[in-house]
A and B are shown apart, each in its own frame.
Chain A
């Protein structure tokens, strides 16, 4: 059976990619941010997950508002990045995993999740920045990635309770897959930030840290928020917390916090890195 060995939260902002492309990791601005990552990289290199399920939001590379899915899942054997229009480097192809992807897609539709299922899908910085953060130098080709995309752009968006339920359903689907695979789950984006309007630039450090605490010990508490609450408390793009909540939903067994690094600001955001080790529930 496939086994979820852990969950990771991380920022996915494009400025990180530029910083890495320009070798700025040790500059005063970036150092406190990048210093958080080596323990997580070490854990990944030691545990060697076969598959990464990665929750992110597309920022207008693959999906436009002509046809905007609430939840989309990739089922391809390879995904390509492409020009996003504002000059972050295009990164090499990402390896996919179609067997487990289809298994999850079947299980989700059976459970009443109305997925948009993608056999070809361009993946943007929301997915590529986290991979490059974990395996710098684009050394992620050995790991198979299943992209799961959540609408965080256009209201109405799925509510936190729904994204948590999606995560739980994916957790159950992985547990019922009959191949021995080690799976890690990434929840990317956030934390508090607002890019648009007169309120641009708000960051809510206290709320972000409370969210990280709750992601460990009481994720259900986070599902009580509506997206409107999140916009109010954490800014217009603070709804990206939904990806972190979905990740936590997949951890249906026991979790233990192994590492955390909160730093603000990075670009306009509060950045929360956290590593949760997961033990699958006993059958």
Chain B
């Protein structure tokens, strides 16, 4: 059976990609942010996961309003990045994985999740920045990635409880897969931020810290929010918490989780940036 080793929650803002491309990791602005990552990288190096399921939101590279899925999932052997329009460097192709992907797709449809299934899909910074953060120098080609995109842009969006249930169904699917792969899940984005409107720049540090606290043992206290409440408490783009909740949902059913790392730093660009590593008993 495939095994879930744990989950990682991380920011995915494009400025991180730019900073890494330009070697700014040790400048005063970035140092504290990047210093949080080595322990998580070390854990990944030790655990050697075969597959990473990455929850992210597309920011208008692959999906436009003409046909915007609530939940979309990749089932391709490879994914390409492309020009996102505002000058972040394109990164090398991401390796995909079709067998577990289709197994998850089947499980999801059987359990009433109405996903859009993608056999070709451009992946944007929401997915590529976290990979580069975990494996700097774009050295992520050995890890097979299953991209899962959640609508965080245009209302109506899936509710936190639905995103959590979605993640849980994906975790159940992984556990029922007849392989011996080691799998990690990543929840990317957040935490509080607002890019648009006169309220732009809004960050809510106490709420972010509360969320990271509850992610460990009491995620149900977060899934009771509506997206409207998330916008109010965490800013218009604070709804990206849904990706963290999907990641946490995938670990539901793994018993008690060990929090191996937590850090929070703000501001990174316009956001409160959280990093969290939750391991299951399957991890070494």
Contact = CB atoms under 8 A, between A and B. Distances in A.
A70 B68 CA distance: 12
Given A110-B159, A112-B162, A69 B110 contact: no
B124 to A, nearest CB: 15
A162 B112 contact: yes
Contacts of A63: 67
B221 interface: no
B114 A66 contact: no
Contact of B70 (A68, A109, A162): A109
B106 interface: yes
29 contacts: A62-B67, A67-B69, A67-B72, A67-B119, A67-B121, A68-B116, A68-B118, A70-B115, A70-B116, A106-B156, A109-B156, A109-B159, A110-B159, A112-B112, A112-B159, A112-B162, A114-B70, A114-B115, A114-B162, A115-B114, A116-B67, A116-B69, A117-B154, A119-B66, A154-B117, A156-B110, A157-B109, A158-B114, A159-B109
Contact of A70 (B114, B158, B165): B114
Contacts of A155: 106
A66 B120 contact: yes
Interface residues of B, number: 32
Contacts of A165: 112
A67 B116 contact: yes
A6 B263 CA distance: 58
A215 interface: no
A67 B67 contact: yes
Interface string A97-110: 00000000110111
B157 interface: yes
Contacts, number: 95
Interface in B46-83: 62, 65-72
B119 A65 contact: yes
A159 B110 contact: yes
B113 interface: yes
A108 B159 CA distance: 11
B221 to A, nearest CB: 20
B105 interface: yes
Interface residues of A, number: 33
A57 to B, nearest CB: 14
Interface string A2-42: 00000000000000000000000000000000000000000
B94 to A, nearest CB: 16
Interface in B227-268: none
B114 A119 contact: no
Nearest to A162: B112
Given A66-B118, A67-B67, A67-B118, A114 B156 contact: no
B70 A116 contact: yes
Interface string A116-152: 1111110000000000000000000000000000000
Contacts of B71: 114
B65 A66 contact: no
B159 A114 contact: no
Nearest to B118: A67
A220 to B, nearest CB: 17
A45 to B, nearest CB: 34
Contacts of A162: 112, 114
A163 to B, nearest CB: 10
Contacts of A115: 70, 114
A162 B156 CA distance: 20
B65 A119 contact: yes
Interface string B127-165: 000000000000000000000000000111111001001
B180 to A, nearest CB: 24
Given A69-B69, A106-B156, A158 B109 contact: yes
B111 to A, nearest CB: 10
Contacts of A105: 156
Given A70-B109, A112-B112, 15 more contacts: A65-B119, A66-B118, A67-B67, A67-B119, A70-B114, A71-B114, A106-B155, A110-B159, A114-B114, A114-B158, A116-B70, A155-B106, A156-B109, A159-B109, A162-B114
A176 to B, nearest CB: 14
Nearest to A149: B67
A113 interface: yes
A234 interface: no
B161 to A, nearest CB: 8
A109 B162 CA distance: 9
A53 interface: no
B102 to A, nearest CB: 9
A269 B267 CA distance: 62
Nearest to B70: A114
Given A66-B120, A70-B116, A162-B112, A118 B70 contact: no
Contacts of A112: 112, 159, 162, 165
A207 B159 CA distance: 40
A72 interface: yes
Interface in A63-86: 63, 65-72
Sorted nearest first, the 6 A-B pairs with minimum C-beta distance are A109-B156, A156-B109, A66-B120, A114-B70, A120-B66, A70-B114
